[in-house]
A and B are shown apart, each in its own frame.
Chain A
């Protein structure tokens, strides 16, 4: 698999250098430069929001650092969690004096290192809370929702928590908003081809020409089934059916949707999918609010798509519409 890189060992650092050079609102910080924070620094008196995770998913995670979103991010190597030292530095960078929410995906390495970072920071008197993204319905049964992976739907939690923090809410209130966003978001993905980690001799997995895999994870974790590639409408129909089957209790008629490219799938195909998705949701009596179509959470050059539904209430809809700005997403 061809890649435009210099040396696999420098892949992440050179990417971060370029990201910050192109977007002066972002600054590299922390041990080995593996923290991205807002250049202007944490806003005093605001609850901080910190995230983190492996590289290879841009715009996730580093791309969502900005006003109305997250304040700092610790970055690991490709598909690896950030180190504990980076987590500590990112939490400190996000601290504006009113506590910090740790908001990241439910993966072992991320969890362990953010937990350890919290243990190290306990003595500093910093108030911390945690919300894990667990939106991937393919990764565990509904009665084990807390074991699910966090995938593209976490961008809703970033947006909603970021808006609540900008309103001046307390750490408990920001945490509750993030938790509600996670609780009301459902995602499923499918892949048409694999990706290859820089330096690896082989792709992460293989899908034969003419095949697809439903329910795959953003690191190529195996999905629910693998079969012949289906037409776009049939793919959307199955994904929507699976998502609506998990509609949160008490959810209303308004929903935001994210049609996300996993990296190699072009916008044209995303809009073909969105066309069918919008029709299906309309038929189900749902009104789409603020649709998102594009590469929001990728898996390097993996071809495929994920669909996320965020079932809104009045508070979530207000927070989703609040102004926000980062290199890859601007609202208001």
Chain B
């Protein structure tokens, strides 16, 4: 077994549910380094993603493409646009397939990471969502089952948050206050970590 549209739909549902408590946490994190709207923006993105009907769709690429379009339609923010970019990249790589082996998740995320870097201009180490994405894609290398993916992804996000917390931001508006950003989580990285945990720690009912 591998990744199917059922998993993707369940993941969206879990991420959407997680936003009820995550929205204000992300707004607060963003207000320290940015304009304080990351949570509200992501809630709107996930609201629209959750509205997308996946009934009758069994193509992984098509379903990811639908989510990418929803993200792009919901916001033009940098984080939302990067999310759409990553999803679109994964959609193109999986089109025509009803199931993608779990072992392919790591290379798929690597390709998404590269596309996000190309679109947004961030480099590894800049303390952005790219670093969280990179940490997870690296951690998943060789993981062939859902249980391993869950635990490795959550651990990788946590480690990335801890590793970068005391680093300065080098990208986006927070780069201008690099010293002030030390000791704080990048809101995009935090969002990625929290949503990853929300999906991985609550998706045990989804068939493997």
Contacts and interface: CB of A to CB of B under 8 A. Distances in A.
A75 to B, nearest CB: 9
B173 A204 contact: no
Interface string A112-124: 1101100000000
Interface string A174-215: 000000000000000000000001011111110000000000
B142 interface: no
Nearest to B181: A222
Interface in B99-129: 119-121
Interface in A216-234: 217, 219-222
Interface residues of B, number: 32
A222 B181 CA distance: 11
Interface in B29-60: 31, 33-37, 40-41, 44
B204 interface: no
B78 interface: yes
B180 interface: yes
Nearest to B175: A147
B120 A108 contact: yes
Nearest to A221: B173
A80 B176 contact: no
B36 A80 contact: no
Nearest to A197: B37
A80 B77 contact: yes
Contacts of B73: 31-32, 83, 85
A272 interface: no
Interface string B56-75: 00000000000000001111
A265 B85 CA distance: 40
A77 B81 CA distance: 13
B28 A197 contact: no
B4 interface: no
Interface in A63-101: 74, 76-87
| Interface-central residue, A87, A202, A205, A222, by most chain B CB under 10 Å | A222
Interface string A29-73: 001100000000000000000000010000000000000000000
Contacts of A149: 173
B27 interface: yes
A219 B119 contact: no
A197 B180 contact: no
Contacts of A54: 76
Nearest to B75: A80
Nearest to A115: B119
B180 A222 contact: yes
B207 to A, nearest CB: 35
Contacts of B79: 109
A139 interface: yes
Contacts of B82: 112
| Interface-central residue, B36, B40, B85, B121, by most chain A CB under 10 Å | B36
A76 B76 CA distance: 6
B31 A109 contact: no
Contacts of B40: 197, 199-200
Contact of B76 (A113, A199, A219, A220): A113
B65 to A, nearest CB: 14
Interface of B: 24, 27-28, 31, 33-37, 40-41, 44, 72-82, 85, 119-121, 172-173, 176-177, 180
15 contacts: A76-B75, A82-B76, A83-B72, A109-B77, A109-B78, A112-B78, A112-B85, A197-B35, A197-B36, A200-B36, A203-B36, A204-B36, A217-B173, A222-B176, A222-B177
